[in-house]
Chain A
Amino acid sequence: MPKLVIDGEEIEVPAGYTVFQACELAGKEIPHFCYHPRLNIAGNCRMCLVEIEKSPKPVASCAMPAADGMVVHTDSPLVHKARKGVLEFLLVNHPLDCPICDQGGECDLQDLTLFYGPDHSRFRENKRAVTDKYLGPLLATHMTRCIHCTRCIRFLTEIAGVPELGGCWRGEHMEITNYIEQALHSELQGNIIDLCPVGALNSKPYQYRARTWELRKTESVDVMDAVGSNIRVDARGNEVMRILPRLHEDVNEEWISDKSRFAYDGLKYRRLDVPMVRRDGRLVEASWREAFRSLADRMAALPGERMAFVVGDLVDAESMVLVRELAERLGCPHLDCRQDGARIEGRVRAEYLFNTTIAGIERADFCLLVGTNPRWEAPLVNARLRKRWRMGGFRVARVGALFDLTYPVEDIGEGPETLRAVAEGKHEICEALERAERPMLVLGAGAVAREDGAAVLALAHRIAERFGLVQEDWNGYNLLHTAAGRVAGLDLGLLPGEGGRDLAGILEGVEAGEIELVWLLGADEIDVSRLTNAFVVYQGHHGDRAAPIADLILPGAAYTEKNATWVNLEGRPQHGRLAVFPPGEAREDWKILRAASEAIGRTVPLDTIFAVRARMAELAPHLARIDTVTPAEWGKFGKRGRLAKAPFASPVEDFYLTNPIARASEVMRQCSREILRPLTEKATGTHG
């Protein structure tokens, strides 16, 4: 471990550290543009110059390995002079348009100019001007502002695994471009907006909408997939203006997917903002009082076994506690949170968790993907798998449909047959599984949401047992959920009770006239056309697929509009916070359920969110341990049975349009049109 003297203080740093990292460790701030701790070192901005004794010139600290006996000065006159010089040159070609620049107020160049910049320009010549590039519906470019740090290129190449940006031409004429004037094809591209130290890459939907200092910042949790990415919701007045990632090393590091970042405009469109009741075949606006009266008329006298609850993908844990309590009081056993029809039984918690944990992926040495496309189902899990692959010594095999995951994958088969061969030890990949010290298996949500889902789960269980996926400090069995609310639903037992029907049973029951009332809590991804026989209560925030067929609409709050608990695929409970208020008459969902229970005459006595959370802690104690993954006990799950011939398919057909918020988002629809469609079909003249 090298020992250095930094500004007179001796410090010992881990081997392999750079001078830059050593300085940071010593608490010295080194100005920089191109350096980023998660990206390869480029060393091209020259802003991080420091003075090292016995070195004839200032040294770029980000690219200089720390060595024993170095004497470093970070605050000497030479360093200041050098940095001033570098900054003056950077400003030579940088426009002075800060007042209209979206980066203004959160710009590295602006901040550093304050400290190292000249007070006037000595440059009398013409500045260089660069044509803006078209990079798709998400990224706005102002390439004249670019200082060629190449962070965007490195991010896309290294972390996103979609090398589409590059530096073309050279010297004075160098430009950052994808050369082809088409949208980038990464689902993580929004992160280069955050990485850009100047205003060259901006968010297109947010462009010229707000200044950073006007925004109210709320720390929250994302619900677009089951990863539970940590986000910051920036709002002005009662409008969400943008969404940014927050650092959480164990979940999303400092990235979020484009859906998490850009789907927020969907919060403004197609909202259910007033209760509605169906009169003479038409949905008409009503007051909450009228809505509850209509509900009480239908429910008060109805026996519990003639009604059913279906809970959707974007439902928070608090609301699910209320659903559970309400169903119990109504004597209703027909309850299901698996709106995709997954054959998860939910008795053993390890069955439905991502047990390895997202950060744990970095410790694995072999991964078998089964019926999943993590790149679309959970982009940040995929980014973590790619990160692991880049570290070396990681093999990935796949049973399921082909898709470019940005790292090499060995395709060993498409359907359950191959999985059985692996479970029986008859497949050649078994050798690798056996040799691996910490093998992991990722079972896609799509692989268990089929007729033979239970048998697939049983096979996965057999593989886990046979190949030592579950060890003392290692659990390599994982289920990859796609819905933000699913794990909480399973934890809270929102599953058919004694004699209860699952979703398929509920739909059959409706058609047979045995179930007269169905309460859909944000459940849109089901075959709503089969519900016509029943009285449908739709509680949710968007007029998506289910609302048009509903007989009663109770307008709820979207994830940015409530204080709620979300449990991610690892089983990590996190708190989302209210950033803006729900529109119009819409209310937080647990409160709606609480009020409804009283109207029906089956009051659930949980009056505050604290009471709800206390009840939640009784039902599932681990949900009270915020931001902690409570390891699940291993046990037996799945049911041996007939396997279907059909190959596995991912439940996500269109990454950008997976939930009601995203489907309401104009930006997401544009992404789907421009980024995905050209991949799946040859665009014709009629496509925009």
Chain B
Amino acid sequence: MSDSVGEGMAPDVETFAFSEENRARIRDILARYPEDRRASAVLPLLHLAQEQHGGWLPRAALDHVAELLGMPRINVYEVATFYDMFNTEPVGRVQVRVCTTTPCWLCGSDEVVRACKEVLGVEIGETTPDGRFYLREFECLGACANAPVLWVDEDYYEDLDYERTRAVLEALQRGERPKPGPQSGRKGSMPAGGKTTLLFEEK
């Protein structure tokens, strides 16, 4: 595990425990599964743990989840390392994920990546020195109709180009939360050049 935990990053910890609020949520989650299939709750619990611990999972959190679910620790390690959405090393609290898979790339994700690097001042896979932003590449985010796409924490920012990406990231840097969705002004996945069908009523 890297020693260079930035100032703003959640630190590695010796012990981990869920907050009171999360414990209540865990009770709800566990109620969804049969008693002898508690291990099924490993994904939602890991998401909770990651959310609580500033965007990454220290080993103590993995061990705690294993203990809660009565499963071997190694199986939790396997799950946490298998899925890309889980970070097992310290990363910045705001996670900026650029989709670079073919449709986004065709629509100009290279420009989005360039904007990200310039604004944040880091390379792919790095965290800004203040520990706030973590930039990474991601495989298809499933929003190809609005390519290229940027995924920041819970929000998708779509229809990006160099300028729009800069605008989004700069707003984030100022601590604002830009409006998620298409940045081109269109609504959802409607045709980019305006309506092309159902333009007049049937007579």
Point out residues on A near B: beta carbons under 8 Å. Answer: 157, 163-170, 178-180
Contact indicator A164/B74 (Cβ below 8 Å): yes
A165 to B75 CA separation, bound complex (whole angstroms) = 9
Judge whether B72 and A168 touch: CB under 8 Å.
Answer: no
Contact B74 A170 (CB under 8 A): no
**Residues from chain B with Cβ under 8 Å of A167 in the complex:** 78
Contacts of B102 in A (CB 8 A): none
Name B63-92 residues within 8 Å CB distance of A.
Answer: 72-75, 77-78, 81-82
Task: Tell me if B132 is interfacial: C-beta within 8 Å of chain A.
Answer: no
Residues of A within 8 Å of B73, CB to CB, are 164, 179-180
Residues of chain B at interface, number, CB under 8 A = 9
Question: Roughly how many angstroms separate A163 CA and B78 CA in the complex, as a whole number?
Answer: 12
Could you tell me the distance between the alpha carbons of A179 and B82 in the complex, rounded to whole angstroms?
13
Residue contacts A-B, CB under 8 angstroms, 28 given: A163-B72, A163-B74, A163-B75, A164-B72, A164-B73, A164-B74, A165-B74, A166-B74, A166-B75, A166-B77, A166-B78, A167-B78, A168-B77, A168-B81, A168-B82, A169-B81, A169-B82, A170-B81, A170-B82, A178-B74, A179-B59, A179-B73, A179-B74, A179-B77, A179-B81, A180-B59, A180-B73, A180-B77
Compute how far the CA of A180 lies from the CA of B59 in the bound complex, rounded to whole angstroms: 9
Closest CB pairs A-B (n = 9): A166-B74, A163-B72, A168-B81, A179-B77, A166-B78, A169-B81, A170-B82, A168-B78, A164-B74
Give Cα distance in the complex from A165 to B78, angstroms.
Answer: 10
Given contacts A166-B78, A180-B59, 18 further A-B pairs with CB under 8 A are A163-B72, A163-B74, A163-B75, A164-B72, A165-B74, A166-B74, A168-B77, A168-B81, A168-B82, A169-B81, A169-B82, A170-B81, A170-B82, A178-B74, A179-B74, A179-B77, A179-B81, A180-B73
8 A Cβ contacts from B91-124 to A = none
Residues from chain B with a CB closer than 8 A to the CB of A178 are 74
Measured between beta carbons, the chain A residues less than 8 angstroms from B75 are 163, 166
CB distance from B13 to the nearest CB of A (A): 15
Interface of B is mostly: helix
Residues on B with C-beta less than 8 A from A157 are 72
Considering only residues 123-156 of chain B, those with a C-beta below 8 Å from chain A are none
Inter-chain contacts of A169 with B (CB < 8 A): 81-82
Which residues of B lie under 8 Å from residue A163 when comparing CB positions? 72, 74-75
Which residues of B (27-75) have their CB < 8 Å from a CB of A? 59, 72-75
CA distance A30 to B81 in the complex (A): 34
B127 CB → nearest A CB, Å: 20
Across the interface, which residues of B come within 8 angstroms of A180, CB to CB?
A: 59, 73, 77
Interface centre among B59, B72, B73, B74 (most CB of A within 10 A): B74
A161 to B4, CA, bound (A): 37
State how many angstroms separate the Cβ of B35 from the closest Cβ of chain A.
Answer: 15
B24 to chain A, nearest CB (A): 30
CB neighbours of A166 from chain B (8 A): 74-75, 77-78
Complex CA gap A170/B59 in Å reads 19
A219 to B113, CA, bound (A): 65
Min CB distance, A594 to chain B, in Å? 55
Q: How far is the CA of A178 from the CA of B78 in the complex (A)?
A: 9
Nearest-neighbour CB distance to chain A for B86, whole angstroms, equals 11
CB-defined contacts of A179 to chain B, threshold 8 Å: 59, 73-74, 77, 81
**How far is B72's CA from A168's CA once the two chains are assembled, in angstroms?**
14
B137 to chain A, nearest CB (A): 14
- Chain A residues contacting B77 (CB-CB under 8 Å) are 166, 168, 179-180
- Report the separation of the CA atoms of residues A157 and B78 in the bound assembly, to the nearest whole angstrom: 14
Closest chain A CB from B77 CB (angstroms): 4
* Complex: A167 Cα to B73 Cα, angstroms: 12
Please report the C-alpha to C-alpha distance between residue A338 and residue B93 in the assembled complex, in whole angstroms.
Answer: 66
Complexed CA–CA distance, A454 and B40 (Å): 51
Q: Which of A157, A163, A168, A170 has most B Cβ within 10 Å?
A: A168
Minimum CB–CB distance from B83 to chain A (whole Å) comes to 9
Tell me the nearest residue of chain B to A162, going by C-beta.
B72
Which residues of B have CB within 8 Å of A168? Answer: 77-78, 81-82
CB distance from B163 to the nearest CB of A (A): 35
Closest to A180 in B: B59
Least CB distance, A165 to chain B, in whole angstroms: 7
Minimum C-beta distance from B61 to chain A (A): 13
Q: Whose C-beta in chain B lies nearest to the C-beta of A156?
A: B74
For residue B169, give the distance in angstroms from its CB to the closest CB of chain A.
Answer: 29
For residue A590, give the distance in angstroms from its CB to the closest CB of chain B. Answer: 49
Report the bound CA distance from A163 to B77 in whole Å.
12
List chain A residues, Cβ under 8 A from B82.
168-170
Assembled-state Cα–Cα distance A455/B74 (Å): 45
